[in-house]
Amino acid sequence: MMSPKILEAGELLFWFHSYDALHENRASVHVGKGSQNDHNDAKIWLEPNIEVARAGKTLRNHELKRALKVIEQNLEHFLKEWHGYKRKASG
């Protein structure tokens, strides 16, 4: 199953990872710069609170902060997309 891109904000890319959808109950989003690089990306939990699961190697500190702000501003959209994606992945 593909890891769909959910949002682009400047150079920041946000996507879901199929492994997470299949194996985790907590919603999360991956963030990278320029491309979807699953090995160096940041992973952010969306629930119960927005928090960094891993900072990764791609983003500088200020970019990670910007990513968190983008997630806060679009949280409803991310959660709606996540739950739809998880249903598809499990179904």
Query: Residue 61 sits in which domain range?
Result: 5-90
Radius of gyration of the chain (CA): 12
Q: Is the pTM of this model over 0.85?
A: yes
The total of structural domains in the chain comes to: 1
Predicted confidence at residue 30, as pLDDT, reads 96
For CA atoms 9, 65, 74, 3, the dihedral sign is positive
Could you read off the pLDDT tens digit of each residue along the chain, which spans 91 residues?
568 899 999 999 999 998 999 999 999 999 999 888 878 999 999 999 999 999 999 999 999 999 999 999 999 999 999 999 999 888 7
Asked if residue 24 lies in contact with residue 53, where contact means CB atoms within 8 angstroms, the answer is no
For CA atoms 61, 19, 72, 4, the dihedral sign is positive
Predicted confidence at residue 2, as pLDDT, reads 66
